[in-house]
Structure 1
Amino acid sequence: MDTVISDYYDRGGEIERLGAGRGRLEFLRTREVLRRLLPPPPARVLDVGGGAGVHARWLAGDGYRVRLVDPVPLHVTHAGAIDGVDAVLGDARRLDEPPARYDATLLLGPLYHLTDRADRITALREAARVTVPGGLVVAATISRYAGLYDTLVRGRYTDPEVRRITDAELTTGVHQPFDQDLFTLAYFHHPDEIVAEFAEAGLVSADRYAVEGAAWLFADRDGWLDGDARTSALLDGLRATEQDPSLFGISSHLLTVAVVQPHRGREIQ
């Protein structure tokens, strides 16, 4: 892991990030989509790049058998303290796991920070390798346009240096950090790009789900997440439009999902 990235996560901000604001919406929608798509408990789930265990916690609570792999020692320590979660240090590109071990493998973070396409393909192939035929590989990506929308909303796009970096990432996809309090070195996918990467890794017929839609840009976003009727209405609306390709680019995150195909001469387990 690049030291710029590890320094960012060593500060511990990821531990609480999904508990409030934009992160809260990302968490609620990611959990909702996964609960619809994952095989039922007690399926085996490998949470690669699972951070401090924010998703591993509810997965274990739902009855899944969860193993979390993350390259950040601080995250592994926190995740390992969660009941029902086995947490170990590791790299998404070199998983120390046997083939066809898990019913679902989640990559809800690793592709953010693999700026080289070859590394992303390797991580996806590794996820497919350790997943049983017929099982699921699910990967989260950040939208190519998330940085632009974010700097516009924050009023920072008028800063010449911020604008230069933001305009460059629209072409290259590589986000160069201009403020480590906001984010670190990352790769922002074009919505169509991830499908091609899945296919090259042998994960065909992938489906995409917009996570936040446009709701992450709402000025009164927190008010929509108070757990009342407005929250229910918001989630209903996002669910209704989550697979409309014309809206993928406005969402801050996408989930891409594919079924691991049986190996030749081998039946689905």
Structure 2
Amino acid sequence: MTQPPSVREEILAYYAQGKEDTRLRRGVGRLEFWRTQEVLRRHLPEPPARVLDVGGGSGVHAEWLARDGYAVDLIDPVPLHVEQADRLPGVSARFGDARQLPADDDAYDVVLLLGPLYHLPERADRVCALAEARRAVRPGGLVAAATINRYAGLHDVLREERYFHPLHRARTDAYATDGRHGAGGEDALFTTAYFADPAEVPGEFTDAGLVPVGQYGLEGAAWLMGGVEEWLDDEDRREAVLAATRRIESEPTLLGISGHLVSVGRRA
């Protein structure tokens, strides 16, 4: 049996802090969460289809999928995440790496990668993870993968006014050039990651043997606006924000404005 790929220590350490469980449940992160739900629910087969949530973290998405009636297995390389997700009703969680899934061929109706591609700076590793998803999904099955957009960090650091700090500015300019975000030092805002150009993702799907069927910018420009957290707290304004982001979600000229992108494909 081959040795499973190793996940970088700084990535494991970052997620061992336990921040991921709340990131999408409050503040502006809710916009990414709700929009991901919207996009997935349009494409998902009817429950009780089998879903493999690869790199599913603490189970933020697995939780609502199980509540919707899906049979959900979650795989993650972070011990804390596996422990958290395994406590959720209807979710079975275990350790694993996106590049070598502990899953049988053709075993699932849907495979989700809503985080693994964030932390695979090498294209070969990203294609490998997508190819593993293709192997694990049935013919005609759905594969959906999230990526962080190339200039998300630049937008975020500028919005938070950290861009005016020389160190943060230099780092931000560097990874905005080639998408490679380093772990940085103690003052780093994130860990080792890859920020993708939306235009390159369909080619990675194709090289993995998947047929691309759509790309969806999740947050539009709304996540960069000053009052968005308060808007999301208000039911009427929240629906207006969601409708606005939905309106431009697949406009090619605006895909890169969102912080995150979900690309959808199918196994031929």
What is the TM-score when the length of structure 2 is the normalising length?
A: 0.95
What is the CA deviation profile of residues 111-131 of structure 1, one whole-angstrom value per residue up to 9, with x for unaligned ones?
A: 000111111010000001000
Among 216, 220, 226, which residue is 2:223 paired with?
A: 216
Aligned to 2:30: 24
Task: Name the counterpart of 1:108.
Answer: 114
Residue 166 (structure 1) aligned to one of 165, 172, 193: 172
Partner-residue secondary structure (3-state), 2:40: helix
Query: Helix, strand or coil: the match of 1:104?
Result: strand
CA contact (8 A) 1:144 1:190 kept: yes
Match of 2:21 in 1: 15
- State how far apart, in whole Å, the 2-side matches of 1:239 and 1:10 are: 33
Q: Distance in 1 between matches of 2:109 and 2:48?
A: 10
Distance 2:237 2:250 in 1: 22
User: Taking structure 1 as reference, are residues 207 and 156 closer, same or farther at Cα in structure 2, changes over 3 Å only?
Assistant: same
Q: Distance in 1 between matches of 2:62 and 2:188?
A: 25
**1:136 pairs with one of 142, 149, 155:** 142
Q: Which amino acid aligns with 1:214?
A: A
Q: Gaps (5+ residues) in structure 1?
A: 262-269
Match of 2:64 in 1: 58
Instruction: Tell me how far 1:49 sits from its aligned partner.
Output: 0.2
Residue 69 of structure 1 aligns to a residue in which SS? strand
Partner amino acid, structure 2, of 1:215: A
Partner letter of residue 205 of structure 2? Answer: F
Could you list the structure 1 runs, at least 4 aligned residues long, displaced by more than 6 angstroms after superposition: none
Task: Give the distance between the partners of 2:56 and 2:87, measured in 1 at CA.
Answer: 14
| Contact 2:212–2:263 (Cα < 8 Å) also in 1 | no
Unaligned 5+ runs, structure 2: 1-6
The normalised TM-score by structure 1 is 0.94
Amino acid at match of 1:233: A
1:77 corresponds to which residue? 83
Deviates more, 1:156-165 or 1:178-187: 178-187
Residues 1:145 and 2:151 are matched in the alignment: yes
- Give, in angstroms, the shift of residue 177 of structure 1: 3.7
Alignment partner, residue 257 of structure 1: 264
What secondary structure sits across from 2:28 in the alignment? helix
1:123 alignment partner, SS class = helix
Question: How far apart, in 1, do the equivalents of 2:119 and 2:162 lie?
Answer: 23
In the other structure, the counterpart of 2:244 is 237
1:33 aligned partner, one-letter code: V
Q: Output the CA distance in 2 between the equivalents of 1:234 and 1:97.
A: 38
**Alignment: residue pair count:** 261
* C-alpha RMSD of the superposition: 1.2
Deviation at 1:216, TM superposition (A): 0.8
| Paired amino acid for 2:110 | A
- Report SS of the residue matched to 2:198: coil
Instruction: Measure how far apart 1:191 and its partner are.
Output: 1.0
1:265 aligned partner: none
- Does 1:157 find its partner at 2:158? no
Aligned equivalent of 2:73, options 67, 78, 81: 67
SS in structure 2 at match of 1:206: strand
Deviation at 1:227, TM superposition (A): 4.5
Moved more, 190-199 or 176-185: 176-185
Question: Aligned partner of 1:230: which letter?
Answer: R
Which amino acid letter does the alignment assign opposite residue 239 of structure 1?
Answer: R
- 1:267 alignment partner in structure 2: none
The corresponding residue for 1:188 is 195
Distance in 2, Cα, partners of 1:180 & 1:22:
22
For residues 11-63 of structure 1, the C-alpha deviation after alignment (integer angstroms, 9 at most, x for no partner) is 11111111111211111110111111111100100000000000000000000
Retained in 2: the 8 A contact 1:198–1:206?
A: no
Q: Which residue among 86, 89, 92 is the counterpart of 2:95?
A: 89
Identity %: 55
How far apart, in 1, do the equivalents of 2:149 and 2:123 lie?
15
